[in-house]
Structure 1
Amino acid sequence: MRYLISKIALYLFIAWSAITLNFLIPRLMPGDPVDLLTERIEGTLDPAALQALREAYGLTETNLLLQYRDYLFALFRGDLGLSIGYYPVPVAKIVGDAMPWTIGLIGTTTVISFLIGTLIGVLLAWRRGSWTDHLLPVLTFLNAIPYFWLALILVLVFGVTLGWFEIAGGYDPAITPGWTGEFIGSVLYYAALPAITIVLASFAGWVMGMRNMTVTILGEDYVTLAEAKGLPKRMVMLGYAARNAILPSVTSFALSLGAVVGGSMLTEVIFNYPGVGYALFTAVQNQDFPLMQGMFLVISFAVIIANLAADVVYVFLDPRTRQEQP
């Protein structure tokens, strides 16, 4: 319990730091969002309109502490400000619209890659020294391929040349979005090629990491003792070796889940997939600082929550974390 309390306190401090940094950055930078917005508006605005815009973006002449208080209250209400590129659309709405696409695609493929990679890694470690070792060069090659390069190759071969998959968008624009079989089928069809890209480019890393760690654990004395006692091979492999070997992978998996909210930006950009990564890319192109700030905050919170979840899982997987320190 003391272990979890210390971790929660640490992550609360990190969350407060991220919020404070997100508040200070636009106020320390030269210029402000209103200047960028007025540059895109033809004609001039009267002083009253400019003042109203500054108040809408939280940029007033009041004390900085009072601005910070108002900023915190706005965050608790879910108000992340107004976008510049999509003015006057709230940042929270843009992030909320993009989030399901990224979680559905990147989240699902991350879990699939982790499960497939972990199981294959354990199997390759158990059968080390056999013909399965010939798969290692192939896995090393797949692990070294960048997402965007593999995505471009798959688009060229299966999208452009063979025409088996769609290469842009999240669904058929001719279909009205809704919980219908036609729309869901279109979403799955458009997501197929990006999903294949992400799984192929990421599962090999999980395989290599899990195999190497399991091989190391198999050389430990307690595993040798378990084998000498005549315990079933499956119990030795899963209960002794794999359970301990998976601990480093849990941390990496938690970081990967946290990165899901950020999306695999290059992959989403290549496929024009309407997720958080593509929205962030658009925000950078449009110099949409409020939108970039809102996404930075959401991504930071996602990483913090994912790491906290990993620490909770650690408590159940590693008995040493449950031992009270004197």
Structure 2
Amino acid sequence: MRFFLRRAIFYVFTAWAAITINFFLPRFMKGDPISAYLAKNQGKVSPEAIESLRILFGLNTDRSLWQQYLDYWGLLLRGDLGRSLSKGLAPVTDIIAEALPWTIGIVGIATVISFIVGTSIGTYIGWRRGSKAEFVVPVATFLSTVPYFWLGLIMIAVFSTTLRWFPASHAYDKIYIPEFSWDFIGNVIYHGTLPALTIVITSLGGWILGMRNMMITVLDEDYITVAQAKGLSPRRVAVNYAARNAVLPQLSSFALSLGFIVGGTLIMEMIFSYPGVGLRLFEATLAKDYPLMQGIFLVITLSVLVANIIADIAYAALDPRTRQEEAL
């Protein structure tokens, strides 16, 4: 209980700090969303409408910064993230909710696949250290250092432009209406193959190298020698003793990766014109749409915190030593 109580206090404080920074940061920047909006619509907005917009966005000069901060918390507790200027004053929650499934679908599946494949390959290479399988490590490491945008453009040039196997952009063909049907789902998978493959290729090297190094470290432990001396099968020693302990650091990294799924892969969504959170953040930045930027940053931050909480719980469940050390 002491372990979980300490972690809960830490994450509550972190969430408060993140939300507070998210409130003050745009207000310390030069200008505000209303000024950016008026600069694009000179002479088209009446003074009464300007004042209404400032009240709507909580930027009216009649209220102090502290009162605006309290109003911001009140809106958050009601699930109101404000309205987007660049999307016709549409609610920010609706815009994020529309983009979120696309990002979670493409980046989430690709992250899970790369973690499972990379961890499995790293386990085998670490167990068979010194074998010919070691050549996979430098190849995967090299691919992980390739700039993402460059690899994405190569994938488009080869598989889309030259071979015409996959489409180069968008999440589905324009002839489809989003619905739960096999035709639409198949078209989404068809469009998402290249972006997902790009994510898997660029992230595979880290999982392989991390798991391989941990396996080599674990194999020198005494309990591995004891397990082998008992006459246990190599497969059982590798999976139940070595891999089970070597994968613990990988789980923390995996949880962080899951948290950053919500943020999406900005470059990937730009290259493939994929309608996810990353592309919405890029559009909001260009339009100086602070409410939308603020809402996306908040969702990304909270998702990372939740992922860290899940990682702590999983780590403590798999390794009781963690609970005992922090409880002292």
What TM bracket, shorter-length normalisation? Answer: over 0.9
> The residue matched to 1:323 in structure 2 has which SS?
helix
**Partner letter of residue 309 of structure 1?**
I
Q: Where do 1:43-122 residues align within 5 Å?
A: 43-60=43-60, 61-122=62-123
CA distance in 2, matches of 1:143, 1:49: 51
CA distance in 1, matches of 2:97, 2:260: 16
CA distance in 2, matches of 1:143, 1:282: 27
Alpha-carbon RMSD across the aligned residues, in angstroms, is 1.4
Match of 1:14 in 2: 14
Deviations 1:5-63 (A, max 9, x none): 21111111111011111111233333221111111224153332211100110112213
Structure 1 residue ranges without an equivalent (≥5):
none
Match of 2:173 in 1: 172
**Partner letter of residue 143 of structure 1?**
S
Q: Are 2:284 and 1:283 equivalent residues in the alignment? A: yes
Deviations 1:88-108 (A, max 9, x none): 111111111110000000001
**Partner letter of residue 294 of structure 1?**
G
1:226, distance to aligned residue in structure 2 (A): 1.6
CA distance in 2, matches of 1:122, 1:109: 20
Match of 1:244 in 2: 245
Runs of 4+ with deviation above 6 angstroms: none
Aligned length: 326
**Partner letter of residue 6 of structure 1?**
R
Match of 1:157 in 2: 158
CA distance in 2, matches of 1:104, 1:222: 40
Of 297-306 and 126-135, the range deviating more from structure 2: 126-135
Structure 2 residue ranges without an equivalent (≥5):
none
Match of 1:183 in 2: 184
**Partner letter of residue 56 of structure 2?**
A
Match of 1:322 in 2: 323
**Partner letter of residue 127 of structure 1?**
R
CA distance in 2, matches of 1:146, 1:51: 46
CA distance in 2, matches of 1:32, 1:136: 49
Q: What is the TM-score with the length of structure 2 in the denominator?
A: 0.95
1:263, distance to aligned residue in structure 2 (A): 0.4
> The residue matched to 1:170 in structure 2 has which SS?
coil
1:292, distance to aligned residue in structure 2 (A): 1.1
Q: What is the TM-score with the length of structure 1 in the denominator?
A: 0.96
CA distance in 2, matches of 1:2, 1:184: 46
**Partner letter of residue 40 of structure 1?**
K
> The residue matched to 2:210 in structure 1 has which SS?
helix
**Partner letter of residue 283 of structure 1?**
A
CA distance in 2, matches of 1:3, 1:239: 26
Q: Are 2:38 and 1:38 equivalent residues in the alignment? A: yes
> The residue matched to 2:247 in structure 1 has which SS?
helix
Match of 1:312 in 2: 313
1:234, distance to aligned residue in structure 2 (A): 2.3
CA distance in 1, matches of 2:68, 2:137: 56
CA distance in 2, matches of 1:271, 1:259: 19
Match of 1:147 in 2: 148
CA distance in 2, matches of 1:230, 1:23: 61
Q: Where do 1:162-311 residues align within 5 Å?
A: 162-311=163-312
Deviations 1:200-229 (A, max 9, x none): 111121011101111111011221122112
